[in-house]
Amino acid sequence: MDYAGRLSRLRSAIEGADLDLLLVTHLPNIRYLSGFSGSTAALLVEPHGATLFTDGRYRTQAKQEVKSARIVIGRKSPLVTAAEWLAGRRKGSRGTLARQTSVGIEPESITVGMRDRLAALLKGTARLRSAPPLVERARMVKDADEILRIRRAIELGASLFQVACKTIRPGVSEVEVAAAMEYAARCAGAEGMSFATILAAGPRSAIVHGRASRARIPRRGFVVCDFGVILADYCSDRTRTVHVGQPSREARHLYDAVLEAQLAAIAAVRPGVTASEVDGAARRVLRSRKLARYFTHSTGHGLGLEIHEAPRLAAGQAQKLEPGMVVTIEPGVYVPGKWGVRIEDVVLVTATGCEVLTPADKDLVVIE
């Protein structure tokens, strides 16, 4: 991973945002910029260099993982260590500073209490300012190394659908199916699941995020399977909806409508279109089938180090798609108390359109 390149591009963005320094606290951002995978850290990015603050538990790991920043091990929380380190250094050079240093913080990942504490520690030497999401913006466009890792995660994730199809039977509980998938994922080398496996059968398929429960799979009905793995830090995400027992004509129509909406959204993905245009393409199809009111979430999201990243493919999102972005396309229809269908693929925005990274088996699977 090109950590030095990422840091150098971030420095330009920091300058462009009129900040002197950026104190990065969102752990996936720290991982993106330095490779550090521990659970406690802060990363201070300065015009000439970067410093990772963590505690003694991570001394060995930080040394192994971090080559692009100097490492400071503290006894207190990494943010306090960072503030004291910065305040001490600034005090040492006081008098030469024409103005207070402007330190950007990441408002989405810092508590109000910690912000107050930092402000007190830096009083007189630096001023805190909420920074725009500079690292998140950079992370939207994936480089070749990241795309390769995402492809591998998707490949592994795809194999789990076969496990699901073999395990889903009337009378088997949703958690048993999820457990079989998750066991297979771990055996194949996944670090974990990218989120709690969604397995929602029968009327529960109308619950958008129906985590696998102890409910048993009924003799007839849809089963929504939404699952992903983390492999070499990167996430996969895929949804397939199968039908147990022969589907009614109405069930087939519903499935076909969602599939048509999903294909329309995929066809709309290309550089220059806005995220909301892609969302609109899916919604238009469902509107024509009088199903739009049952499509209650956005069409998709970016993914990478996190399962949900920018951009969001939703109404009102003006973000334009660019080559290298990796997003999900996942329209769904949920009729409360009755049933639900969702179909989700991951696509890579290319120079001319997009490449569907998820294997394209989307005919309705019927499990007898």
Contact positions vs Zn ion (CB under 5 A): 226, 237, 239, 328, 344
User: Of the two residues 38 and 332, which places its CB atom closer to Zn ion in the complex?
Assistant: 332
Please report how close the Cβ of residue 158 comes to Zn ion at its closest, in angstroms: 13
Task: Give phi and psi for 270, each to the nearest 5.
Answer: -165, 160
Please report how close the Cβ of residue 185 comes to Zn ion at its closest, in angstroms: 14
Please report how close the Cβ of residue 344 comes to Zn ion at its closest, in angstroms: 5
User: Of the two residues 104 and 311, which places its CB atom closer to Zn ion in the complex?
Assistant: 311
Please report how close the Cβ of residue 334 comes to Zn ion at its closest, in angstroms: 14
User: Of the two residues 154 and 286, which places its CB atom closer to Zn ion in the complex?
Assistant: 154
Please report how close the Cβ of residue 153 comes to Zn ion at its closest, in angstroms: 13
